[in-house]
């Protein structure tokens, strides 16, 4: 059988049907049994020269690694973001690449809303105090009537918008590549043409853009200075979108109210990282797409995408 490397840690939760599909078509899956993200060296060792396909999570696939595969024909991304894959090199080598679009947008959107509510009501700090024997109240904010500024109008951004409208928030979207006026009119969403306007007017800002050279550290000292002192910053996209040193200074100096992220520039962060020690900073362990429903969808979609690229089977 031809070999297919499967790297995502959570793939095993729903692997039976997916592995059966692969074997029916003559492919033997090589499973990541380390329980963590693989290094480039581990990917090369596991895949060997025989692998014709890879189902990859957030594990790195740089150009120099792709060049070492002798028979690789297809890469199926387990999820949406493909910044861990050298797409230019893959195209140069004739390796097809597809992502599992439409599999995790609901889960990530629900987490973004959860982080907003958690921060607005100081849930983490209050719960920690109660567990520590302190029955103390902490005054919070309602989301009703607050202005939510979404940076990015893709699938996840739109799902967040719909849920925010259900919470009676005022929603605006900045995305120079998205002009879905029909969607905006249906949900009474304002399309913002200038990012600075969104920074200045929003009570909550939520990031929903991919990590690209032009989005790297887009939230920096300059951007933070343009935000309200009461703003809450939510990031469920990529840690690299935020300059973490600048964010730390803004939080320590009460320049903004708080920030909640599901992503970080280095995952996991060092135990002594100064940012994660702040009371007005929340960090979850990249759980945005980690729901039973989302994982099952990603397992099946990424497997079918790989077979489509290898065999033309949908």
Annotated catalytic residue: which of 142, 194, 267, 293? 267
Annotated catalytic residue: which of 31, 42, 121, 286? 286
Is 286 catalytic? The answer is yes
Contacts with 221 (C-beta within 8 Å, 6 or more apart), sequence order? 243, 246, 249, 250
Is 304 catalytic? The answer is no
Annotated catalytic residue: which of 105, 158, 163, 238? 238
Tokens linked to 199: 């920074």
Is 238 catalytic? The answer is yes
Cα–Cα dist 165/254, whole Å: 28
Catalytic (active-site) positions: 238, 267, 286
């Amino acid at each position: 059988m031809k070999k297919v490397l499967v790297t995502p840690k959570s793939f095993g939760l729903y692997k039976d049907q997916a592995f059966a599909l692969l074997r029916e078509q003559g492919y033997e899956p090589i499973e990541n049994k380390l329980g963590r993200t693989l290094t480039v060296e581990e990917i090369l060792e596991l895949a060997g020269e025989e692998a014709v396909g890879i189902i990859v999570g957030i594990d790195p696939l740089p150009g120099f690694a792709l060049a070492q595969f002798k028979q690789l024909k297809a890469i199926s991304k387990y999820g949406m973001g493909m910044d861990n894959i050298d797409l230019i090199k893959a195209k140069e080598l004739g390796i097809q690449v597809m992502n599992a679009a439409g599999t995790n947008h609901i889960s990530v959107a629900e987490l973004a809303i959860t982080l907003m509510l958690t921060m607005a009501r100081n849930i983490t700090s209050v719960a920690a105090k109660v567990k520590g024997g302190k029955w103390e109240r902490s005054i919070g904010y309602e989301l009703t009537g607050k202005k939510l500024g979404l940076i990015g109008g893709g699938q996840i951004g739109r799902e967040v918008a719909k849920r925010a409208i259900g919470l009676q928030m005022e929603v605006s979207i900045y995305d120079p590549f998205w002009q879905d006026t029909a969607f905006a009119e249906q949900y009474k969403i304002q399309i913002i043409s200038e990012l600075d306007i969104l920074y200045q007017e929003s009570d909550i800002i939520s990031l929903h853009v991919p990590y690209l050279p032009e989005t790297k550290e887009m939230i920096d000292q300059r951007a933070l200075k343009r935000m309200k002192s009461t703003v809450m910053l939510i990031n469920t996209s990529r840690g690299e979108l935020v300059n973490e040193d600048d964010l730390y200074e803004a939080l320590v100096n009460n320049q903004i109210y708080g920030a909640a992220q599901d992503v970080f520039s280095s995952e996991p962060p060092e135990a002594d990282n100064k940012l994660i020690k702040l009371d007005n900073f929340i960090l979850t362990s990249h759980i945005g797409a980690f729901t039973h429903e989302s994982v099952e969808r990603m397992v099946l979609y990424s497997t079918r995408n790989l077979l489509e690229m290898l065999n033309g089977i949908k």
